[in-house]
Amino acid sequence: MLQAIGLTKKYQGNVALNNLNLTIEPGEIYCLLGQNGAGKTTVINLFLGFAEATSGEARVNGLVVKPGDPDVKKFLAYIPEVVMLYEKLNSLENLDFFSKIAGFNYSTKELQEFLIQVGLQPDAFYKPLGNYSKGMRQKVGIAIALAKNADVLLMDEPTSGLDPKATNEFSDLVIRLGKQGKIILMATHDLFNAVNVGTKIGIMRHGILVHEVLASEINASDLQKLYLETI
């Protein structure tokens, strides 16, 4: 479970996140919306331990996040806008490398199965990452999360810059991960995608979570209206 309890972050006295209270259960896909600077990345960074809370707590499976704490890190996988991988290695080699860092030693067949699960075409397995599209890189990023057996996936604008087909494939994959019981927190500017993929949607403004709605109870057009009224 992911929990924010009175989570607050200030940078040089400026409030980036103000008293966030949030719970995300296994199987939930929580989409966080808000204008540039609203505080979405700050939430993700606090869960990842990339930044330290000024007050309050970020908890992962009951453990309070402290920067650099390996006990919490093992539960987490991070999918940024552009997944950073070794350009000269192919996807199998990248997956093998990052799995080993996380303490897992898989056979080639097992590594291939992770890549198949995320929908990467087998003819790409042996091509260096330098030749991959953004959508393919995202898939390798998710394969790394699966290989690491992470319970929680933290995604920061993962569909930004993806074409509609790649976005659709990515969304299907995220929905499948939710059904498998993963906990997913996604910062996004894509309202349509939030309604499609999310189970819950939060709208932030100036570091405050202003609205929280169930995706099943809102359509894209009403969400857009609510969003525009909020920001």
Ligand X SMILES: Nc1ncnc2c1ncn2[C@@H]1O[C@H](COP(=O)(O)OP(=O)(O)OP(=O)(O)O)[C@@H](O)[C@H]1O
Nearer to ligand X, 111 or 203 (CB): 203
Token duo for residue 167: 């976005």
The pairs formed by 164-172 with CB atoms below 8 angstroms and a separation of 24 or more are: 165/135, 166/133, 166/134, 166/135, 166/138, 167/135, 167/193, 169/119, 169/135, 169/139, 170/135, 170/138, 170/139, 171/196, 171/197, 172/119
By CB under 6 A, tell whether 36 contacts ligand X: yes
Nearer to ligand X, 33 or 143 (CB): 33
By CB under 6 A, tell whether 198 contacts ligand X: no
By CB under 6 A, tell whether 161 contacts ligand X: no
Instruction: Give min distance, CB of 158 to ligand X, in A.
Output: 12
Instruction: Give min distance, CB of 83 to ligand X, in A.
Output: 17
Classify 182 as helix, strand or coil.
coil
Instruction: Give min distance, CB of 140 to ligand X, in A.
Output: 23
- CA-nearest of 111, 9, 105 to 57 is 9
Binding mask 4-23 for ligand X (x = CB under 6 A): -------x----x-------
Where along the sequence are the contacts to ligand X (CB under 6 A)? 11, 16, 34, 36-42, 187
